[in-house]
Structure 1
Amino acid sequence: MKILHIAGWSGSGKTTFIRKLLPFLSVHGKTGTIKHICSHYSVLPPGKDTSIHFEAGSNPSVGIDNEKTIAYFHCTDLETTMDMLSDSGVRYAVIEGYKNYPFQKILIGDLEVDYLLKNPAVDEVIPVLDQFDDWYTLSGLSRELITQYPGSFLLTWTGYTDNYLSAFRLCSDIEQEFSRHRDVCGIRIRVHRWVKNNLFPVYMVMAYTNTGGSLLPDILNQLYPCISDRVS
């Protein structure tokens, strides 16, 4: 899942820019948004069943009408919400706010932060989508391959590394090598960068046919040099 992080002062035009961007992004893949409400407080509709359920401990509390589904969760951290978007198959996550997070940013207005683009037109964003940061989950990668290769078998594996850069390079090389095998429909071997400790998840997902599953020991043998022995 690509992260498009929109930053700028309040009133700079972030929401207006996002409103223009979303129709363009949605053409390229399922798109979700996250808004940091910050000092504002989102009040649940008083007396409604979904509010009563939420206040009684439901997590989530979900309501469905003829036009939409709404869900209230008790979690308040960005990371958990990003995981939920990735797990649901979102390809592009647009974040408004959270300016202190170190994702590649689109800056609207003037703000002392690093950025990839500053005050761009919407059509300037699409050609550089591959330069934005990635957010990986095992479910998200699995869903991607299941969608691309329906009817294939699926293998998944998870490990951890304490050396992000070495693991990133190794995983890229291994993925490229095994993607050429005749029984491999698609393979993703990715290192998730955004962690709060020094253990980075390594995800391997492979869609295959015939005897492709027998490649797993070879893949793991090549992966093991970068896998931390601090996690069994």
Structure 2
Amino acid sequence: MTPAPTKAKVIGFAGWSGSGKTTLVTRLIPALIATGRTVSTVKHAHHDFDVDQPGKDSHDHRLAGAAEVLVASSRRFALMHEYRGAPELGLAALLDRLAPVDVVIVEGFKRDPVPKIEVHRPEVGKPLLQPDDPHIVAVASPAPLPGVGVPHLPLDDIGAIVAFLVARGLV
């Protein structure tokens, strides 16, 4: 049975590899929880990622052809779904699989039309995504960047980022 679609506020974090997206997200989660909100995340991963391990029963189940394997314990469960040639699920379909929460933080999925904060570090040497993405609502970077048409958020000021998200109704 698929859980009821979440009515969560969805906020994305996009940027090039090495920009600090994961560090920022892992600092934001407890800060948002401290405001009384429930939080889930969706992270886009590389094509070859795997949460399963050779030698485990669940791995053997998948190799035998199971479309889905759900591993459960008294602490957590994990559902692995094998595409087996079917197209990859898009962000909207993945969000529909989540249990209801107040906020879903999306890391990656930089081309999806959700409000996003771009995480940018000039030393990474990559261009800003912001000029070409109308869904970027702010840029989080170590210092303000010239010519950026959206608000600047100090990358290391979690309180300021949470305040921005709350004031804009994004969380």
Q: TM-score range by the shorter chain?
A: 0.5 to 0.7
Aligned to 1:79: 92
Q: Secondary structure at the match of 2:97?
A: helix
Q: Secondary structure at the match of 1:45?
A: coil
State the distance in 2 between where 1:49 and 1:93 align. 31
Q: CA deviation at 1:72?
A: 1.0
Q: CA deviation at 1:10?
A: 0.2
Aligned to 2:102: 91
State the distance in 1 between where 2:101 and 2:62 align. 25
Q: CA deviation at 1:91?
A: 1.7
Q: Does 1:12 align with 2:26?
A: no
1:199-218 matches, within 5 Å, as: none
Report how many residues are paired.
131
Structure 2 portions without partners, runs of 5+: 1-7, 121-126, 141-152
Deviations 1:128-176 (A, max 9, x none): 335338xxxxxxxxxxxxxxxxxxxxxxxxxxxxxxxxxxxxxxxxxxx
Q: Secondary structure at the match of 1:116?
A: strand
Structure showing greater relative contact order (alpha-carbon pairs closer than 8 Å, 6 or more residues apart)? 2
Q: CA deviation at 1:17?
A: 0.4
Aligned to 1:112: 129
Match of residue 41, structure 1, among 49, 63, 66: 49
TM-score, normalising length: structure 1: 0.50
Q: Does the 8 Å contact 2:28/2:162 carry over to 1?
A: no
Q: Once the two structures are aligned, what percentage of the paired residues are identical?
A: 28
Q: Does the 8 Å contact 2:15/2:129 carry over to 1?
A: no
State the distance in 1 between where 2:45 and 2:116 align. 18
TM-score, normalising length: structure 2: 0.66
Kindly provide the amino acid, as one letter, of the partner of residue 117 in structure 1.
A
State the distance in 1 between where 2:111 and 2:38 align. 26
Aligned to 1:70: 78
Kindly provide the amino acid, as one letter, of the partner of residue 31 in structure 1.
V
Structural RMSD (CA): 2.3
Distance 1:55 1:92, change over 3 A: farther
1:117-128 matches, within 5 Å, as: 117-119=138-140, 120=153, 121-127=157-163, 128=165
Q: Secondary structure at the match of 1:125?
A: helix
State the distance in 2 between where 1:56 and 1:29 align. 41
State the distance in 2 between where 1:31 and 1:43 align. 21
Bigger Rg, structure 1 or 2: 1
